[in-house]
Amino acid sequence: MLDIKFVRENKEQVKENIRKKFQDEKLPLVDEVVELDQKIRDLKQKGDALRQERNVTSEKIGVLFREKKIEEANVKKQRVVEINDQLSSIEKEEEKLMEELKSKMMVIPQMIDESVPIGKDDTENVEIEKFGEPIVPDYEIPYHADICEKLGGLDKDSAGRTSGNGFYYLMGDIARLHEATIAYARDFMINNGFTYCIPPFMIRSDVVTGVMSFAEMDAMMYKIENEDLYLIGTSEHSMIGKFKGQLLKEEELPITLTSYSPCFRKEVGAHGLEERGLYRVHQFEKQEMVVLCKPEDAMDWYHKMWKFTVEFFRSLDVPVRTLECCSGDLADLKVKSCDVEAWSPRQQKYFEVGSCSTLGDAQARRLGIRMKTDKGNQFVATLNNTVIASPRSLIAILENNYQKDGSVKIPKVLQPYMGGIEVIKPKQK
Whole-number Å distance between alpha carbons of 397 and 391: 10
Q: Tell me what pLDDT residue 270 has.
A: 46
pLDDT digits (tens, 9 = 90+) for 250-270: 999 999 999 999 999 887 654
Closest CA to 344 of 188, 144, 105: 144
Whole-number Å distance between alpha carbons of 116 and 107: 20
Give me the domains of the chain, ranges plus CATH numbers: 4-105 (1.10.287.40), 122-424 (3.30.930.10)
Q: In the chain, what is the straight-line distance between the N-terminal and C-terminal CA atoms, in Å?
A: 58
Whole-number Å distance between alpha carbons of 93 and 425: 70
Element (H, E) at 99: helix 70-105
pTM over the 0.85 mark: yes
pLDDT digits (tens, 9 = 90+) for 364-390: 999 999 999 988 999 999 999 999 998
AA letter at 104: K
The per-residue b/e assignment along 281-310, b for 16 or more CB within 10 angstroms, e otherwise, is bbbbbbbbbbbbbeeebbbebbebbbebbb
* DSSP code per residue over 176-224: HHHHHHHHHHHHHHHHTTPEEE---SEE-HHHHHHHS-HHHHHHHPEEP
AA letter at 389: A
Which residue stretches of the chain have pLDDT < 50? 270, 272-274
pLDDT digits (tens, 9 = 90+) for 320-331: 999 999 999 999
